[in-house]
Amino acid sequence: MNKPLIVITGASSGIGAAAAKLFSRAGHPLLLLARRVEKLEALELPDTLCRRVDVTDRAQLQAALAEAEARFGPADAIVNNAGVMLLGAMAQQDPDEWQRMLDVNVKGLLNGIHAVLAGMAARGRGTIINISSIAGRKTFPNHVAYCGTKFAVHAISENLREEVAGSGVRVITIAPGAVETELLGHTTDEAIKAGYQEWKQQMGGVLAADDVAEAIAYAYGQPQRVCVREIVLAATGQPA
């Protein structure tokens, strides 16, 4: 194959699915990971391995990567996109929701990095793309635990970038504002969800998943000697 393997976590919908379609059109073989493997298979993308993987399970993730690399060759990039957003006021929110976000948004991200990093460093090239959020740069009401996980993504990404810069591996952070995906549906507080939907309408609409996928593809498409360290994007009408 002319194009190298790209790994995408959380690829069953939203940004992950949009990125999968875009990279597939560009000719890349793919390893798509999600808990809902039927959604991955429904994308019907060529040269694609779909596996049911929980990113919090390091062994599952590593096994899927080994299978894909045996078939398609070494992974040239991973898009660490899997994430959950469970909004809530700190005094009322179920602590299990904090734990879920920490497990997926932070531990899952680290597992994705760990799966590919040694091989990339040994080959002297590779790209790690971590999907964060504007909520990893500033705070919002009812976002305390979620912001904590996304601030962690920013810190992990930048520190990792410094650590591996000399090995030829790029680390890129993509920080979108509000995006029309399934993410808000994870929140269990109906009043918070209603307020978020009203906020989206007030700004005149939000980003589409395809907008974020284009940003991912742009950053990856730069020459390997160029690292676009961070892209922050939001709907023009989003004030915060």
Q: Tell me the per-residue pLDDT of 100-128, one tens digit each, with 9 for 90 and over.
A: 999 999 999 999 999 999 999 999 999 99
Q: Does the annotation mark 146 as catalytic?
A: yes
Query: What is the pTM assigned to this prediction?
Result: 0.96
Distance CA 48, CA 46 (A): 5
* Per-residue burial over 107-124, b = 16 or more CB atoms within 10 Å of its CB, e = otherwise: ebbbbbbebbbeebbeee
Q: Which two tokens stand for residue 197?
A: 């939907």
Q: Residues 147-184: pLDDT tens digits? A: 999 999 999 999 999 999 999 999 999 999 999 988 78
Cβ atoms of 194 and 176 within 8 Å: the answer is no
The answer to whether residue 1 scores a pLDDT higher than 80 is no
Rounded-to-integer distance, Cα 157 and Cα 68, Å? 24
Q: At what angle do helices 109-123 and 144-164 cross, to 10 degrees?
A: 10
Of 146, 196, 218, 220, the active-site residue reads: 146
What phi and psi, each to the nearest 5 degrees, are found at residue 149?
Answer: -70, -35
Task: Identify any residues that bridge with 232 across adjacent strands, giving them in sequence order.
Answer: 175
Residue that is written with structure tokens 């912001």 in the block? 147
